[in-house]
Structure 1
Amino acid sequence: MNPLPLLRAELRRAPRTAAALVLLVSLAVALAVGVVAFERALRRGSTDAAAPFDLLVGAAGSPTQMVLTSVYLQPAQLPPLDGTSWSKLTRRPDVAGASPLIISDTWRGYPVVGTTSTMVTRLTRSTAGVPAFKAADEAIVGADVPLDVGAAFQSAHGTEGPDHTTLPYHVIKRLPPLGTPYDRAIIVPVESVWMLHGFGNGHSDAAALGAPWDETPPPVSALVISPRQTADAFRIRADARKDGMVAAFPAEELTRLYSLLGQARDAARDVSLGAALLVALAALVAAAVHLNAAASRLALLRALGAPRSYVLLAAWSLGAGLLSTGAILGLPLGLLLVLGARAAAASAWGLHLPFEIGTAELGVAFGAAVAGALLAFLPAISAYRRAP
């Protein structure tokens, strides 16, 4: 016998209750799916953003903060790395390239980063279409900065207005979208930042830009080093630490952050799954109450010749249908939550989070649907055992 007509009739008796139960289950499952998917997307996006930074060296302080400020442009005042220390590192034979970073000024909330044309090339991961700085007042803007090529602007120190010693920059290039926080950055020659803060330009020639610098150039926020070989990177890091500096591989610092992030993800996932279980139990209680109210109708069907297996199938289909439908709807709802979180991450951090549906998200939704189908046997067996 087909149980669908009976199911339709029972659902029509309490459509709002059924819809509320499905919505609650779907929300609980969506939260679990969203947590898993967003955490994986955040890992991939942050790792891609750190790829151009092989090794970071800074003054004594927190290596994690150095990575967050240098790579992800999170506002923080890094202790200055003196010129003698970082200049010595750039002249090592095992250093293929080095670019100083100064992150202290802003323009309308967009960070102004003083560095070199070499660093711009590393950020874009391409030499095509990346012009070299020819003058100290030139600027290259990220894709999200609202400045057109040829526009003039003045930087500000910290969150204050334009400083009276600043020079007007003009934009010479807009970078393509990189999917990193540097989409929101304004990149200028490091010499211009030195001059604005009264340090000179780090060269004996007042018009010179880029390496080589004087033996004792002005201080910087951090130094990005590209080693010639992998073994050289570990040697440079060890020597820098012996000299009292902080040296870190961004990927290594991210691993520590991922560990904390993974713990938070597991806790949030467990909480959301626990909430889904509580909602499922509430749905089963509601189904049991509904079946108890429908006892006379089920008894009449038994009297008309319906077997016990039909009652079992009808009762199970009612509970399993509600719970499984909520679990399945939780998957697209969770993906919508992730899309919203991606937009928020791009707006707040400038991170592009690559997103795709993985086996983990499918496993959460499928597991919730299977669990709901199994739990639905509890009220169904009770209805099955009841005498007509």
Structure 2
Amino acid sequence: MGRHSWKRGEGLVPASALALILALSGCTGSPSSPGTAATPNASMAPGTPTTPGTPASPPAPEVVQKLDVGLQLPWSVVFLPDGTAVVSERDSAQLKSIRDGQATTIGEVSDVDPGGEGGLLGLALSPGFSTDGWLYAYFTSPSDNRIARMKLTGDPSGQLRLGEPEVIFSGMSKASTHNGGRIRFGPDGFLYVGTGDSQRREQPQDTNALGGKILRLTPEGRPAPGNPFGDNPVYSYGHRNVQGLAWDSGGRLWASEFGPDVDDELNLITPGGNYGWPTVTEAPGRSGLIDAKVVWPSTSDASPSGLEIVNGIAYTGALRGQRLWAVPLDGENTGAPVAYFTAQYGRMRDVARAPDGTLWVISNNRNPDFALILRTGS
């Protein structure tokens, strides 16, 4: 199938590292560092939930083992059915597999144009990967940000082989910063895409533009049926730079988002919802706009990227903040965020759960990077 483009209005054509493995096994143990509470909302004191109800505090992760895997600027991690991790490296445009504590180069994605925050970014596996073999990648090309899918197969020796990219969606504007890049298949089988405003502040409030959005696509790259604005890929708007997407046990979509020099956010996503950027940040209670559920007033504490939700806890990696944030959830309510491993392991880029129940947290800019195995109590 060929590439799909979608255009409405000017400028719109859609078409290092450390791994932290958190085992959610119910075991207990002393945390590797004390947890630090954060302010969930700029108007609230630390420890106060943003909505009525008080979800339980998150358990403290425990470091179990350090593994050296030698990655360079990794950005995203996904897991094959057999537990093999596949990691994207932003600047090299390479895909690496990690199995039994060893990293192996699978191949290089063609047409990637790294620079600034752009390059080979988010990965997602097809829900039917066991039969169709599709691996999806979001990347920066010489002209735009786009999404391609590639066959990922194994040869008789067990070596993974990467097929040629098939671009399914293109035309997302690029810039040196704010390229978004997170992609993930939802429980409904459709592909969700977090984009950035690419330094074009007019785009997030324009539902005919792709910048500053969460998009919802079919596996072939078309606007998904049931989207809130008709035959349009936009699912929610008014975002600045979305780099984390995850669903809770009730099927609710949450997203982590970078603020400007203040007000990083964790948002509960409503179809067709307007999250305010660039009109407002955080949770001002403005009519017609949706308030953030959690706000980090200082971006030096957060700059949240990857997001995963496990056992009622939303884990997000902080880049500038160089820590792992854990936010307890109870339905639509959030408790006070707690920080772990502050300034111990560098910038934390992605968070993803493996088939065995462990949680991998990928950070970057250490060059080369390494992996820690962690366990949480419950």
After TM superposition, the score normalised by the length of structure 2 is 0.23
Larger proportion of strand: 2
Q: Say which structure, 1 or 2, has more relative contact order (CA 8 Å, 6+ apart).
A: 1
Higher normalized helix content (fraction of residues): 1
